[in-house]
């Protein structure tokens, strides 16, 4: 069993619970159904120019879920101009490795009606439709702590549902996927963080990993953020 810790609604030795982008790229490519933008003259005039449109499109049979690049918000065009004026360049795309600059954010959009998709409608309903037997979702459940073996590998997670605490155990790997803030928070309460930070809260050090929970920055679109380290 691969145990994936996902918090919906809100991402030392360098080997602790590490996942590299290139190791998961194929999975991400197969999990998104790319819908090309509308091609009317008016839509072409208003559409966001984005490098992703030039990428090879995988056969539709490989896709499960939807992503669409179409018209950007009017606010974003003014935002882009303002950022350019203070020296922040426009990058061709924020999904292909060019991150030092400004670009429109991709959103998961329903192809019919172009409304915002959710984790449930994008992934869980499709899993139910496919009658997947290797996926179990614990709703109304909070991950409290990652369990780590002596070899520094995650073996499971302590969780809580309706004030009842219990342990979920993995026999392959534990993947933390809880967003910008809560991924780091979960690592820290599990003892994976700078030792001096853990000492302040009497948390036992599992891995003295410099940088976890550090590097807080303020960005224009949504306020303070913590860089995932």
SS3 category, 155: strand
Query: Per mean pLDDT, which range of 22-26, 120-124, 198-202 is the poorest?
Result: 22-26
* C-beta neighbour count of 102 within 10 angstroms: 18
Q: How confident is the model at residue 217 (pLDDT cuts 50, 70, 90)?
A: low
Give the residues across from 67 on adjacent strands.
Answer: 34
Helix/strand/coil for 203: coil
Q: Quick one: pLDDT at residue 8? A: 39
What is the pLDDT, as a whole number, of residue 16?
A: 38
Q: Do residues 182 and 167 touch, judged by C-beta distance below 8 A?
A: no
Task: Using the structure block, give the residue that is written with the tokens 């795309």.
Answer: 93
What are the C-alpha distances in Å from 227 to residues 55, 87, 119, 214? 28, 21, 23, 7
Could you tell me the pTM of the whole model? 0.57
User: Which CATH number is 2-13+139-226 given?
Assistant: 3.50.50.60
In the chain, CATH 3.50.50.60 sits at 2-13+139-226
pLDDT higher at 95 or 47: 95
Residue 158 confidence (pLDDT) above 80: yes
- Residues 174-183: what's their mean pLDDT? 81
Task: For residue 58, name the pLDDT band (cuts at 50, 70, 90).
Answer: very low
| Mean pLDDT over the full length of the chain | 71
Is the model more confident about 24 or about 214? 214
């Amino acid at each position: 069993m691969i145990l994936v810790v996902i918090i919906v609604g809100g991402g030392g030795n360098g080997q602790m619970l590490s996942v590299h982008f290139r190791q998961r790229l194929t999975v991400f490519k197969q999990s998104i159904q790319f819908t090309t933008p509308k091609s009317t003259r008016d839509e072409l005039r208003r559409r966001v120019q984005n490098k992703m449109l030039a990428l090879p499109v995988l056969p539709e049979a490989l896709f499960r879920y939807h992503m669409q690049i179409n018209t950007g918000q009017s606010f974003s065009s003014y935002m882009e101009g303002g950022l350019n004026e203070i020296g922040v360049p426009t990058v061709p795309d924020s999904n292909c490795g060019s991150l030092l600059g400004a670009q429109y954010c991709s959103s998961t959009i329903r192809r019919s009606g172009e409304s915002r998709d959710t984790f449930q409608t994008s992934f869980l309903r499709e899993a139910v439709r496919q009658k997947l037997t290797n996926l179990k979702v614990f709703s109304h459940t909070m991950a409290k702590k990652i369990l780590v073996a002596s070899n520094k590998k995650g073996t499971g997670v302590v969780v809580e549902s309706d004030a009842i605490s219990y342990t979920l155990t993995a026999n392959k790997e534990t993947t933390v996927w809880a967003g910008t803030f809560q991924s780091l928070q979960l690592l820290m309460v599990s003892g994976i963080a700078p030792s001096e930070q853990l000492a302040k809260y009497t948390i036992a050090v599992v891995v003295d990993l410099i940088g976890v929970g550090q590097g807080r920055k303020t960005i224009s679109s949504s306020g303070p953020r913590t860089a995932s380290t």
